[in-house]
Amino acid sequence: MRILMFGPNPETKGGIATVIANFKQHFNSSTNTIFYAESWKEGNILKRTYYSVHGLVTLPHQINKQNIDAVHIHMAQDGSYFRKAMATRLAKRSGKKVLLHIHGSHFDQYHEESKPWLQRHILRTLRKADKIIVLNEDVKTYFATFGIPMDIVNNAVPVPTQLLETSNRTQISAFGQLGTRKGTYDILEVAEQLQISHPEAQIYLYGDGDTKQAQAIITRKQLQNVHLGGWITAEQKAEAMQKTMIHLLPSYQEGLPMAVLETMACGIPNISTYVGGIPNVIASGKDGLLIEAGKQDQLLHALITLIEQENKRNQMGKAAATKIKTEFSMPAYIEKWNQIYAEWDT
């Protein structure tokens, strides 16, 4: 089967780009071949617009040129939805099957809170797809009420061949876009209390987004224990992970965040929340700690627990790495996709 994968440039920011980069690096099959077409690329507004239009305009040509059987489209909400909705229609007009791979952390909420005309448009788009893959049960259950079947495929990550010595890990990190949805402001609130009780614990926030707002809070509260690392490359992230003993992601909405999988694969225990697909990965108390979103007292308690209890932290890290290796590694992920393409081809 010849598949055209349509999504953002794999070197851009975000979880979808990481998923596509992993496909490009790890996918192999004797029966399925994947070609790649870019729907979006970073740059100023003119460049972003150009790449988006170019990706859509050339999509039918790419389908014909590569003799494509099916188009695998990566979709999220907002601008991504509109680009991929057009791509879905172009692929169907070309007579090809369409698989929609929905990554949005709250695609169900996106539909529910949209204006009526957009709600109808989203449902029409989804019904045009021959298969839909999502990341968590919430989205699947929500759209099932509209008679739209979906399957769940968890994300996966490469597994390091060797874990770093835990004694070299001293910092607390948060990887991902800064903002309310990721729980950044909850981290900043508890950091003020943590600075008093555990001044040695240093928190690094890696990502773009609400950086100015975060810096203003850091300055106003005189937080000496919080540092903004900015958006970092894959190589810089690997270096940061070598120093990380705890990963923070107290999100309010998620699909299945790559940052959780990547840190767990490196033997780093997570403190995260009971949202999206996160509880499907983290068994609270065994390979990480889960709290209720927005509960700052729980976040502070979880942090203090893992800071003070080194043995527990190390045990959770080892359990996390084992879980990713056995359940969320790339070989199993690639095999799953080969099965999906094979079933889809019948």
Question: Residue 69: which CATH number?
Answer: 3.40.50.2000
The reply to whether 96 falls in a domain is yes
Q: Which two tokens stand for residue 149?
A: 């079947």
User: Which residue, chain included where needed, has tokens 């909405």?
Assistant: 253
Would residue 129 count as lying in a domain? yes
Is residue 142 domain-shared with residue 257, that is, in the same domain? no
Is 239 found in the same domain as 91?
no
Residues 137 and 178 in one domain: no
pTM for the structure as a whole: 0.83
Clarify whether residues 87 and 177 are in a common domain: no
In a domain, 301, yes or no: yes
Residues 115 and 14 in one domain: yes
Structural tokens at position 220: 């106003």
CA–CA gap between residue 113 and residue 319 (Å, rounded): 39
| Alpha-carbon separation of residue 327 from 83, 96, 262, 333, 335 (angstroms) | 32, 32, 13, 9, 12
pLDDT digit string (tens) for the chain, length 346 residues: 999 999 999 888 888 998 999 999 999 898 999 999 999 888 888 888 999 999 999 999 999 999 999 999 999 999 999 999 999 999 999 999 999 999 977 899 999 999 999 999 999 999 999 999 998 888 999 999 999 999 999 888 888 877 666 677 889 999 989 999 999 999 999 999 999 999 999 999 999 999 999 999 999 999 999 999 998 888 899 899 999 999 999 999 888 889 999 999 999 999 999 998 899 999 999 999 999 999 999 999 999 999 999 999 999 999 999 999 988 989 989 999 999 998 876 6
Q: Same domain for 213 and 285?
A: yes
* Predicted pLDDT of residue 164: 67
The Cα 216–Cα 67 span in angstroms is 53
For 285, the domain range is 166-327
Using alpha carbons only, give the angle 230, 232, 235 rounded to the nearest 5 degrees: 155
CB atoms within 10 A of CB 56: 18
Same domain for 268 and 183:
yes
Burial 58-87 (b: 16+ CB within 10 A, else e): ebeebbeeeebbbbbbbbbbeebbebbbbb
Question: What's the number of domains the chain is made of?
Answer: 2
Give a yes or no: residue 172 inside a domain. Answer: yes
| Structure tokens given for 15 | 């979880």
pLDDT at 346: 61
Q: Is residue 161 part of a domain?
A: no
Q: Are both 39 and 182 inside the same structural domain?
A: no
Q: Is residue 315 part of a domain?
A: yes
* Residue 35 located in a structural domain: yes
Question: 223 and 270, same structural domain?
Answer: yes
Q: Are residues 273 and 209 in the same domain?
A: yes
> Which residue bears the tokens 């809170």?
113
Are 201 and 268 within one domain? yes
- The answer to whether residues 174 and 323 belong to one domain is yes
Phi, psi of 19 (to 5 degrees): -60, -45
Tell me if 188 sits within 8 A of 223, measured CB to CB: yes
With contact defined as beta carbons under 8 Å apart, do 69 and 3 qualify? yes
Q: What is the Cα–Cα distance from 54 to 32, expressed in whole angstroms?
A: 26
Residue with tokens 């991504």: 80
Report yes or no on 258 lying in a domain.
yes
